[in-house]
Amino acid sequence: MRRPRPVLRALLSCVTVTGLSAALVALGTGGALAADAAPASHRAHAMPGHVAAPYFEAWTGESPAALAAASGNKYLTMAFLQTDAPGSCTAYWNGDKTLPIAKSAFGKDISQIQARGGNVIPSFGGYGADTTNTELADSCTSVDAIAKVYESLVTTYGISRIDLDIEADSINNAAGIDRRNKAIVKVQRWAERSGRHVQFSYTLPTTTTGLAPNGVALLQNAVTNGARVDVVNIMTFDYWDGATHDMAADTQTAAAGLQAQLAALYPKQRPERLWRMIGVTEMPGIDDFGPQETFTAQDAVKVEKWARDRGINTLSFWALQRDNGGCVGTAGANSCSGIAQDTWYFSHTFAPFTRR
């Protein structure tokens, strides 16, 4: 996800993964505190077991803390971090060298959100980075350097989850996928040694029946490397198949397909535990494809209830700046949903989902 962007998603049919290796990744974070344990004041609280965390477009110049307060959101997913050029191992917000991973960039905003009992989830990648070889693990060939970037987010901002938005070219970059998963393992070992809470989520494109084969292969690589994936967050929009969609119903079938795929990857896990690994991200109003893919106010109510009943982990939408009715009839706008709605309607509808 990144806007503005060309809109293209090649849909692949979903395949079963029963024949995949069934190596199981431990899903807990455990581990005794070591000598390098983080001071208590620097330890981030774990994310809620069920969290609403809409995406915030970090390149607009707006304050995430101000918009979080105005919309009633305690948690935000901040998009995106990437390198400024292919080959670099240094990540910046939006690939902008004036916005490094430092307190000077969003530090005050993030602290304000945390002071109100929430947190942010920094997100790497997105369509723009994933199509220009500036997604961190595509750009950087050093697993150690990638891991250090992830760790710097934890120590700089006190966050406890990192999101990896992998789509377009990046989801087919086998070398980048392998480096990224190896870096996750390093960070998870570092977190265990230092007494920190660090989760990783993968945000991936989906069909209406689950992940395409390349998404399954990415997760299989995580299993092979021993990387714990805490959340698989599917983008339940921009199907781009020419059909007219019931977006709420398609969210449910996509998630059910993902749950079955996770069951093949993690055969020792109970079904309810697998549901707790799932996240969904909607695009309120008219998505990039057009009116045939319109996520309505009524869809939001249905999806929030379904998410609570199913016990999934994360409920999100793209993006906070679109949560208003300022451009009725416009598809895929940057700053409005394209449908008639009250300002912050989707935020207010999803907010009750957050709970421990």
What is the DSSP annotation of 179-245? HHHHHHHHHHHHHHHHT---EEEEEEE-BTTB--HHHHHHHHHHHHHT----EEEEE-S---SS---
Specify the pTM: 0.90
pLDDT for 230 equals 98
- The CATH number covering residue 129 comes to 3.20.20.80
Q: What is the mean pLDDT of residues 27-50?
A: 54
Q: What is the mean pLDDT of residues 4-25?
A: 35
Residue 304 placed within a domain: yes
Residue 8 placed within a domain: no
Residue 263 placed within a domain: yes
Residue 183 placed within a domain: yes
pLDDT band, residue 46 (cuts 50/70/90): confident
pLDDT band, residue 36 (cuts 50/70/90): very low
Q: What are phi and psi of 156, to 5 degrees?
A: -80, -45
On the question of pLDDT at 16 being above 80, the answer is no
Give residue-wise pLDDT tens across range 332-348: 999 999 999 999 999 99
On the question of pLDDT at 259 being above 90, the answer is yes
255 touches 270 (CB < 8 A):
no
Residue 229 placed within a domain: yes
Give residue-wise pLDDT tens across range 282-314: 999 999 999 999 999 999 999 999 999 999 999
Look at residues 41, 34, 35, 24 and name the one whose alpha carbon lies nearest to residue 192: 34
Residue 32 placed within a domain: no
pLDDT band, residue 14 (cuts 50/70/90): very low
pLDDT for 10 equals 35
Separation between Cα atoms, residue 261 and residue 271, nearest integer Å:
11
pLDDT for 147 equals 99
Give residue-wise pLDDT tens across range 227-246: 999 999 999 999 999 999 99
Mean pLDDT score of the chain: 90
Residue 21 placed within a domain: no
On the question of pLDDT at 8 being above 70, the answer is no
Separation between Cα atoms, residue 69 and residue 92, nearest integer Å:
25
Boundaries of domain holding 211: 43-353
pLDDT band, residue 18 (cuts 50/70/90): very low
Least confident of 36-50, 156-170, 254-268: 36-50
Residue 292 placed within a domain: yes
Place of tokens 């024949």: 19
For residues 124 and 46, the model is more confident at 124
pLDDT for 356 equals 84
pLDDT for 30 equals 32
Look at residues 287, 353, 341, 288 and name the one whose alpha carbon lies nearest to residue 316: 353
pLDDT band, residue 28 (cuts 50/70/90): very low
Number of domains present in the structure of the chain = 1
pLDDT for 23 equals 37
pLDDT for 43 equals 56
The residue count of the chain comes to 356
